[in-house]
Chain A
Amino acid sequence: MMKRVEMTVASVREIGRDTFEMILQNAYIACNAKPGQFLHLLVDSRTLRRPISIASINQENDAVTILFKITGNGTKWLSACQPGVTLDAIGPAGNGFSYDEATMETALLIGGGIGIPPLYGLGKELSKKGIHIKTILGFQSKEYVFYEGMFQEFGKTYVVTNDGSYGNQGFVTSVLDQVGNFDRYFSCGPIPMLKAVTNKLSDHQGSISLEARMGCGVGACFACVIPTDSEGGYRKICSDGPVFAADEVML
């Protein structure tokens, strides 16, 4: 169940250009969060909270890790929070990744930019369950690359940069035919990337996680809806998602 809690900043570090990793402590969140869920964080007393996905969960230390990119004043303020500062968070929000582990021997993780973080927590969970993991990570360019080594611990990891300054040049879809067989894919990243991924992998089962500008973050305000078909159906990204089956929503 979602609660409003105070989380204490344990550490903050820049791990790529404009990209920060922050460890936050709160026993309730660490105990209840699942990969794919998010925190709705109050930043600098601003009107709207910032939804930020949970990258990993460490129950032993009552901690969760979030990763975020500076895109405006709210995330800039967040990046300047020092250890010891407490943040007001609503969480764990939304629904995490779900899957049938019995039918999955190999999973493919496909992440783009700041969409990569929730896939790390998922990878950790799948890896513990003995599921074989392959990963494709896409970034704008070399300076933005993060977590490559951490995904390599799960299995073969392909890195792609749009400008070719690191790894393969192109998009995450450029290396799809190199990865070989897998039973199910999990993807998170910008909408155009998710469109390309779901189109190319339409013969595979998959889950996608979406980001959106949110209002309430709890399902009440209808700010972050996404259509499901042409008949007026919809899902709320904050409360029905942010994780959806690949064929559930219209990107």
Chain B
Amino acid sequence: MTNLSVDLPGLKLKNPVMPASGCFGFGREYSEFYDLSQLGAIIMKAATGEERYGNNTPRVAETASGMLNAIGLQNPGVEKIIANEVPFLAGYEVPIIANVAGRTTEEYVKIASTFYKTKAVNAFELNISCPNVKKGGIQFGTDPDMAADVTAKVKAASNLPVYVKLSPNVSDITAVAKAVEQAGADGLSMINTLTGMQMDLSGRRPLLANQTGGLSGQAIKPIAIRMIYEVKQHVSIPIIGMGGISAAEDVLEFLLAGASAVAIGTANFQNPYVCLEIIGELPHVLQKYGFDSVSAAIGRGHYAA
């Protein structure tokens, strides 16, 4: 038997596969396709302090082997998420990770405290890397000092583990990774989307109403692998890896680069069963490449490991 389980701070995962924030809503839609208890964990769509409508449409555009999105963190706000969405997910045997996104440090802290008080979730993913909002988001993720500050304050607001979601839109991602580790982050999640743009030829303007959007999908996988590989050499906290995963072989690639678990985003749109299919395939792929557990593969792509 191949052992797929992974223990991360605050999270006992039966397998390392979870849907990525923003690509899975709050689980309801995909629960029509399969039993969510089969997932390793669920990362919810970002929660903000108050309800947000998000950007104008069009919000998505297809690209070569990927897509651009500029949703703009549309969500009903933390209170309604706790009241209406978390109870639904709590009906499944699956750890819940809340993605937290604020315009200010105070908003991040408020959201985290609200979740913590209700004991509704198992961990936080600190979203300091959303490229599609004017205030907050990526502003925090591109400056190591700001990233460390918001991490420390959210850590102080609860006893729950905090995974900081890093932006690839920086020149030195290890600097941000090290800063948030020092500030008390329990783990990292990486990478968020890369900022991009597509032109509408007949409209003679950017296709997305927000002009820029976040590039995701298979096109960004090599960037994610490279960044995880680099960061792994400089931090000792675990990494949840994401960026273009669409097959079990991709998961092994992320594990070898240094991720301890993975999240799958864009691929859910192409195949609503992708998380489930990858969980099913993963034992065979691990065996094929000489591993009898997920843990055995983590970081094994490093010469020093």
Q: Is A170 an interface residue (CB 8 A)?
A: no
Q: Which residues of A contact B (CB under 8 A)?
A: 1-2, 4, 42, 45-49, 74, 90, 212-227, 232, 234, 239
Q: For A224, list chain B residues within 8 Å (CB).
A: 57, 59
A223 CA to B268 CA, complexed, in Å: 14
Number of B positions contacting A (CB below 8 A):
35
Q: Are B57 and A221 in contact (CB under 8 A)?
A: no
Q: Are A215 and B67 in contact (CB under 8 A)?
A: yes
Q: Are B270 and A221 in contact (CB under 8 A)?
A: no
Among B45, B54, B69, contact of A215 (Cβ-Cβ < 8 Å): B69
* Binary contact track B124-166/A, C-beta < 8 Å → 1, others 0: 0000000000000000000000000000000000000000000
| Nearest chain B CB to A219 CB, angstrom units | 5
With A213-B58, A222-B54 as contacts: A49 and B269 at CB distance below 8 Å: yes
Q: Is B212 an interface residue (CB 8 A)?
A: no
Residue pairs across A and B with CB atoms within 8 Å: the count is: 96
Q: Are B71 and A234 in contact (CB under 8 A)?
A: no
- Interface residues in B22-70 by Cβ distance below 8 A to A read 22-25, 28-30, 32-33, 45, 51, 53-54, 57-63, 65-67, 69
Q: Are B269 and A215 in contact (CB under 8 A)?
A: yes
Q: Is B10 an interface residue (CB 8 A)?
A: no
Besides the known contacts A215-B67, A218-B30, A239-B29, 13 further A-B residue pairs in the complex with CB atoms under 8 A apart: A4-B273, A47-B217, A90-B272, A213-B61, A214-B60, A215-B59, A215-B69, A218-B32, A221-B22, A221-B60, A222-B54, A226-B57, A227-B53
Q: Are A48 and B25 in contact (CB under 8 A)?
A: no
Q: Are B67 and A47 in contact (CB under 8 A)?
A: yes
A-B contact pairs, 19 of them (CB 8 A): A2-B33, A42-B270, A47-B266, A48-B67, A48-B269, A90-B272, A214-B60, A215-B60, A215-B67, A215-B69, A216-B268, A221-B22, A221-B23, A221-B269, A222-B45, A222-B59, A224-B59, A225-B53, A234-B74
